[in-house]
């Protein structure tokens, strides 16, 4: 029997009157919902980091770094696109994965994916190196949190890449390679969602 879980959210209107919203869902629905929320948070974080750095560069009129940032976004988009093509190809063709045509197209997509992944690593690394050289890395406060924007003291750890410090590591080594690919997906989806909301 799939026992329902009750989740209550209390909201307040403009007159501070309490409104209670009750949601009922199963344990498996709760797990799926938590995974979706985590993914949405990662997309939002990636977009917010991009936006923060973009605004710093626009305010500073830094044309060189703005061009480099545009290059990183283009590389992220191209990498995400080839990954989607790669997954679509596998889902359509894997059940009958045989013959020269399958191998030729698979090898071509795999080569493109690796090439674009390496290009993304290179452009993100180059952009961050120049970014940190000019603006420095944001220092932590005594309680371990980053300083606020009004106390601006450099760029957040990871630069354009909105990952936690333990996942950043060496830009050319694992686990950074894997996480950078994931980050590209979060950034592109986050940008798409924000642009889609604006157009509505």
User: 């939002």: which residue's tokens?
Assistant: 44
Asked if the structure places residue 66 within a domain, the reply is: yes
Tens of pLDDT, residue by residue over 2-51, are 555 555 555 566 666 766 655 555 666 656 666 666 767 788 889 999 99
Report the pLDDT value the prediction gives residue 57, as an integer from 0 to 100. 94
Let me know if residue 124 belongs to a domain: yes
pTM here? Answer: 0.71
As a whole number of angstroms, the distance between CA 135 and CA 142 comes to 21
CATH of the domain at 156: 1.10.287
pLDDT tops 90 at residue 100: no
Q: Give Cα 167 to chain centroid, integer Å.
A: 13
- The answer to whether residue 4 sits within a structural domain is no
Whether 14 maps to a domain, the answer reads no
Listed residue (160, 130, 199, 128) closest to 48, CA to CA: 160
Q: Give the closest residue to 81 by CA, choosing from 46, 38, 112, 106.
A: 112
Q: What are phi and psi of 17, to 5 degrees?
A: -80, 135
Summary mean pLDDT of the chain: 76
Q: What does the pLDDT read at residue 45?
A: 87
Angle formed at CA 188 by CA 183 and CA 189, multiple of 5 degrees: 95
In a domain, 184, yes or no: yes
Q: Residue 171 gets which letter from DSSP?
A: T
Can you give the residue range of the structural domain that contains 165? Answer: 38-102+114-199
What pLDDT does residue 80 have?
93
Q: Is there a contact between 83 and 185 (Cβ–Cβ < 8 Å)?
A: yes
Model confidence pLDDT, tens digit, residues 105-139:
888 888 999 999 999 999 998 998 899 889 887 76
What is the residue whose two structure tokens read 């590591």?
Answer: 169
Q: How many domains does the chain have?
A: 1
């Amino acid at each position: 029997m799939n026992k329902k879980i009750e989740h209550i959210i209390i909201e307040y209107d403009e007159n501070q009157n309490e409104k209670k919203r009750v949601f009922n869902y199963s344990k498996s629905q709760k797990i799926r919902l938590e995974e979706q929320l985590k993914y949405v948070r990662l997309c939002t974080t990636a977009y917010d980091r991009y936006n923060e750095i973009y605004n710093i560069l626009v305010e500073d009129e830094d044309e060189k770094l703005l061009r480099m940032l545009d290059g990183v976004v283009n590389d992220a988009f191209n990498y995400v696109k080839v990954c989607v093509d790669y997954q679509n190809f596998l889902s359509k063709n894997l059940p009958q994965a045989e013959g020269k045509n399958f191998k030729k197209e698979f090898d071509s997509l795999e080569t493109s994916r690796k090439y674009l992944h390496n290009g993304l690593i290179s452009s993100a690394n180059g952009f961050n190196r120049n970014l940190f050289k000019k603006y420095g890395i944001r220092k932590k406060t005594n309680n371990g949190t980053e300083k606020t924007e009004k106390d601006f003291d450099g760029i957040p750890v990871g630069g354009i890449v909105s990952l936690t410090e333990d996942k950043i590591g060496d830009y050319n080594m694992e686990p950074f390679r894997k996480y950078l690919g994931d980050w590209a997906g979060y950034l592109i989806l986050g940008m798409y969602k924000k642009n889609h909301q604006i157009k509505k």
